[in-house]
Amino acid sequence: MGNNSILIVDDSILNIMALTNILDKDFKVYASRDGHEAIQTAIENIPDVILLDIIMPGMDGYEVISVLKNHEKTRHIPVIFLTGLVKPNEEEKGLAMGAADYITKPFSDSIVKLRVNNQIKMIEQLRTIERLSMIDQLTEIPNRRSFDVQIDSEWGRAIRNKNLISILAIDLDMFKMYNDTYGHQQGDVALKSVAKVFTEHIKRPGDFAARWGGEEFFVILPNTDLQGAMGIAEQIRKSTEALVIPKADGTPTKITVSIGVNTQAPSSNISLDDFIANADKALYTAKNSGKNIVCSV
């Protein structure tokens, strides 16, 4: 768990030192002695778990958790309250505000470790579930949900930085006929084989390929002009055309793709939906012009 981090929030330096001593062998530890500083630290560092004292001068723990749970960046961070209070109504209030657990003072090393580790385990399970929900299970590349998140992010970045952004809409040619001829299991093999072509040609950290659904894929190319996007699209087309996709008995099969390319400098005159739709229009042009070609808007 060495990559996980904890934020300790307590106005007592002795409590911070005691908790740090318990946790710093297993976690990266941040510490804050007041609520305002804690909120800023949480937003800047996004710790995995926050240990939050309830009774502090100025801004108490209830006020701090209220702010954290209403902030986009920190709302999902589990908060464990630190308290000497054991009254049921106080515990109920904290849980109702979103606290994940309580640790009572004076601190027991083993209890602190167990309660923190329980939260870390739950976080890691949730992250695994979230990660799997963003991956297409057949091709093992990002799925449509993941694409939607990525394109929103890259479109916003292109607007802020006034950069070009390109997108490729890719469709396997005559895929229904391929399935009808060779069977759906072989169709799955073809989809996986083509998806691997994307990973070979999508090299830069910001470039992103996803399965949209069925036999259609999208590739996002941030900060890429039309010439660059057309070049990558042509590489993908050629590599797919060169693929030999063997059947279970070793018999070779072939498949091709058509690709629509759109490059845009985002502005108020065009929406993200239009940007994607125009790539699809270019794809349909490629389909209607003989297939196995690349067309731009």
The answer to whether position 158 is within a domain reads: yes
Tokens of 127: 């992250």
Same domain, 290 and 169: yes
Question: What is the percent of the chain where pLDDT is above 90?
Answer: 85
Supply the pTM of this predicted model. 0.70
Same domain, 126 and 155: no
**What is the predicted pLDDT for the residue at 1?**
46
The answer to whether position 236 is within a domain reads: yes
The answer to whether position 226 is within a domain reads: yes
Report residue 137: phi and psi, to 5°.
Answer: -65, -30
Q: What is the pLDDT of residues 71-102, one digit of tens each?
A: 999 999 999 999 886 677 778 888 899 999 99
Same domain, 152 and 281: yes
**What is the predicted pLDDT for the residue at 85?**
67
Same domain, 184 and 43: no
- Annotated catalytic residue: which of 92, 154, 215, 241? 215
Alpha helices for the chain (secondary structure H): 13-23, 35-45, 61-69, 88-96, 109-133, 144-161, 175-182, 184-201, 226-242, 272-288
Tokens of 186: 């072989």
Encode burial over 240-278: b for 16+ CB neighbours within 10 A, e otherwise.
Answer: beebebeeeeeeebebbbbbbbbbbebeeeeebeebbeb
The answer to whether position 139 is within a domain reads: no
The answer to whether position 78 is within a domain reads: yes
Q: What is the CATH number of the domain that holds 24?
A: 3.40.50.2300
**Among the three residues 108, 132, 156, which one is the final residue of a domain in this structure?**
132
The mean per-residue pLDDT over the stretch 194-216 comes to: 93
The answer to whether position 126 is within a domain reads: yes
Q: What is the CATH number of the domain that holds 237?
A: 3.30.70.270
Same domain, 208 and 274: yes
Q: What is the pLDDT of residues 106-163, one digit of tens each?
A: 999 999 999 999 999 999 999 888 888 899 999 999 999 999 999 999 999 999 999 9
Same domain, 181 and 85: no
**Among the three residues 74, 101, 132, which one is the final residue of a domain in this structure?**
132
The answer to whether position 137 is within a domain reads: no
Which one has a higher pLDDT value, 91 or 61? 61
Same domain, 70 and 202: no
Same domain, 29 and 88: yes
**Average predicted confidence (pLDDT) for the chain:** 94
The answer to whether position 232 is within a domain reads: yes
Same domain, 101 and 155: no
Active site residue 215: yes
**What is the predicted pLDDT for the residue at 253?**
97
Same domain, 54 and 12: yes
Same domain, 127 and 158: no
Least confident of 40-44, 61-65, 95-99, 267-271: 267-271
**Pairing relationship of beta strands 245-246 and 252-253 according to DSSP bridges:** antiparallel
Same domain, 183 and 282: yes
Asked if the model's pLDDT at residue 198 lies above 60, the reply is: yes
**How many separate domains does the chain show?**
2
**Among the three residues 98, 132, 166, which one is the final residue of a domain in this structure?**
132
Q: What is the pLDDT of residues 5-58, one digit of tens each?
A: 999 999 999 999 999 999 999 999 999 999 999 999 999 999 999 999 999 999
Report the distance separating Cα 218 and Cα 150, nearest Å: 11
Domain assignment of residue 35, given as a range: 5-132
The mean per-residue pLDDT over the stretch 180-207 comes to: 94
**What is the predicted pLDDT for the residue at 131?**
83
**What is the predicted pLDDT for the residue at 86?**
63
